[in-house]
Structure 1
Amino acid sequence: MNSTLAEYIVLFPEPIAIVNSGGEILAINDGASLFWQQNAQNLIGQSLAVLLQQSQDAVQRWLRQCQGNAQMLAAHFPIPKPETEHWVIEGIGINLDGELAILTRIVPSICYNQHLLAAQLQQLQTELARQIALVTELQQHQQALEQEKQHLQLLAERDSLTGLGNRRFFDTALDQLWQQAQVEGHPLTLALIDIDDFKAYNDCCGHLAGDRVLQRVAHAIKSQVRETDVVARYGGEEFALVLLQVSVATALQIVERIQHYVRELKIVHSKAARHPYITISGGLCFVPAQANGATLTEILTRADAALYQAKQQGRDRCILLDWSQNLSSHPQCWDTGWRSPPPPLG
């Protein structure tokens, strides 16, 4: 039942009811409730023929006429009501949520004027159409606002240069994946990836060229991970990668493939750099399933420490720290210096 129409007929003092093709009442206003001296809820679902004390066939014939006509129809049914004159019931077919129904109104026969009542009914329909149009417009406006909100949210969480998520996006995603890993008992790997000697490249080739390198490295990282993995620009020339449900070997293999991809770009580096082409270094922290006492702050600290050690050991390599390792202990080192590409995953 259209709630807008049901609310609208309440505004009228005369008895108004909406019935379906079978003559069952779908909605009424207070005027109809007073007219029949029954509670509105009690009238819903009752037969119009019973209320009019007319034969079912006669009422059904009239309802079919109403359904097929755009003009108001009247029937002089003797509607019993104490201390009143003869009443007239009129109706018109309407489209109600894709189904035909009949809007009826009861008026005293002494006041009955078909043309006047038809004009009033037309006015009612016009106003109803206007109200429905206003509601539709409001819904469309709300939908547009929601789409704009989602667009602004996307802009707020994206790095405009690389198209990756920004630090705000990364912090939120890492927190969600960490909670998921704890609840479901999955391992999690956090990798911090840094472009080697990037300041030297910027000083030599300029910031516009540096921006293009950032874009190409971002694409290299994105191309080697799954849709479910989280990739973000962590800040400056540093990127962050979160891998869920992968082993230590797989996590290292993913970063190795990214390093190989970047090397194969063969972007000529500054003469002041350690390597002839642009390379990257990675620091990883692997947290096994059901790790006790692990916190995001400590995970980030370990990944950052591993990245620092990769830089200290010559760059173009990645260092992995297992969660169980002490930061002062000798870390696991995965030497990704110049060699053949790693095998594809899976």
Structure 2
Amino acid sequence: MKGTLTEYIRLFPEPIAIVNSNGEILAINDGASLFWQQDAQELIGQSLAVLLQQSQDQVQAWLKLCQGNAQMLAAHFPIPQPETNHWVIEGIGINLDGEPAILTRIVPSFCHNQQLLAAQLQQLQAELARQVALVTELQQRQQTLEQERQQLQILAQRDPLTALGNRRFFDKALSRLWQEAQVQGHPLTLALIDIDDFKAYNDCYGHLAGDRVLQQVAHTLKAHVRSNDAIARYGGEEFTLVLACLSAETALQILNRMRNHVRELKILQSKAACHPYITVSGGLCFVPARNRATLTEIFAIADVALYQAKQAGRDRCVLLTWSPNAPSNP
């Protein structure tokens, strides 16, 4: 607030200064600088008693009187000048950043009246209030822009059809979970899940029906995911899942529950498909704690596991464990 008040006392032609309760000048405008015939920076910190050629006790008593009067002119001092004594200094108490201060102005003695100072102070306060309102509005706009930026960031990582994370989201989540697993020393499981014979379903029922299937399957899969796991639509009819801090047996159980619940949706499949209802197959790569695996190797092993599940008749899950000699893509 001090900086704002300093800016706006410069708008006034009269010599105006702000002093603290000890009479030391905190801020001053160009009019006061011209009046005292000193540079503004040289006047900052100077004692008002010295400038007025009055005793410190007299000025201190006047300042206390000003502090106790926040509405009307408190008192005035004549200002000694080389050729005239027709100037007076007026003061009024204000609050500056929670600290008491005094707003002073220098006027010809014939202009010395309470109404004039009150009107000009009211003008100053109105202008300050307007500026505070502008700053508040700017802060609100900045907050709104930040919220919109965050929302756009979320949308940029979300698949619009299924509301799951997209590939960008999953790549970031996998990298984060992988780093945590390496640092904390816990196992990790990467799963690739694919809707069986999805092309046959689309060919039979159309792409709109296929979109509804993707949404239903995504909803079913997500219902089994914990808050510290990550699931995403990786592309087409393929989904990806990372399960942290679970044994290989538990991870496989979760994938099989997902698979069973998708089948229990009883979405009729095309007659050209292997099964009468929509099913999914899953390939899992279990990575033990304290390993030397790479993400490229993990994906390759999960892809091999998914291929084996498809070759074995679909509607099943296959789990492979990472090892230095794990199988690569067929």
User: TM-score normalized by structure 2?
Assistant: 0.82
For 1:328 and 1:126, the matched residues in 2 are separated by 77
1:182-193 equivalence runs, <5 A: 182-193=182-193
Gap regions ≥5 residues in structure 1: 45-49, 330-346
Structure 1 partner of 2:131:
131
- 2:67 maps to which of 63, 72, 79: 63
Q: Which deviations, in whole Å up to 9, do the C-alpha atoms of 1:291-337 show, x marking residues without a partner?
A: 12x222221111112111111111111112211163439xxxxxxxx
CA contact 1:12–1:29 (8 Å) conserved in 2? no
Classify 1:56/1:92 alpha carbon distance in 2 versus 1 (closer, same or farther; 3 Å).
closer
For 1:266 and 1:184, the matched residues in 2 are separated by 41
Deviation at 1:233, TM superposition (A): 0.4
Classify 1:84/1:289 alpha carbon distance in 2 versus 1 (closer, same or farther; 3 Å).
farther
Q: Taking every aligned residue pair, what percent have the same amino acid on both sides?
A: 60
Classify 1:165/1:2 alpha carbon distance in 2 versus 1 (closer, same or farther; 3 Å).
farther
For 1:231 and 1:111, the matched residues in 2 are separated by 81
Classify 1:259/1:6 alpha carbon distance in 2 versus 1 (closer, same or farther; 3 Å).
farther
Structure 2 partner of 1:217:
217
CA contact 1:74–1:88 (8 Å) conserved in 2? no
Structure 2 partner of 1:305:
304
User: TM-score normalized by structure 1?
Assistant: 0.78
Deviation at 1:285, TM superposition (A): 1.3
CA contact 1:52–1:77 (8 Å) conserved in 2? no
Classify 1:282/1:111 alpha carbon distance in 2 versus 1 (closer, same or farther; 3 Å).
farther
Gap regions ≥5 residues in structure 2: 48-53
For 1:218 and 1:3, the matched residues in 2 are separated by 56
Deviation at 1:167, TM superposition (A): 1.0
For 1:62 and 1:126, the matched residues in 2 are separated by 21
Q: Which deviations, in whole Å up to 9, do the C-alpha atoms of 1:58-86 show, x marking residues without a partner?
A: 543432222xx3xx414124678999846
Letter in 1 for 2:138: L
For 1:40 and 1:185, the matched residues in 2 are separated by 65
1:104-123 equivalence runs, <5 A: 104-110=103-109, 112-114=111-113, 115-123=115-123
Letter in 2 for 1:253: Q
Letter in 2 for 1:264: E
Structure 2 partner of 1:87:
88
For 2:321 and 2:138, the matched residues in 1 are separated by 55
Write out the 4+ residue segments of structure 1 that deviate beyond 4 Å after TM superposition.
Answer: 10-13, 22-27, 30-44, 55-58, 78-86, 99-103
For 1:58 and 1:233, the matched residues in 2 are separated by 75
CA contact 2:283–2:302 (8 Å) conserved in 1? yes
For 1:82 and 1:247, the matched residues in 2 are separated by 94
For 2:215 and 2:237, the matched residues in 1 are separated by 10
What is the Cα-based RMSD across aligned positions, in Å? 3.3
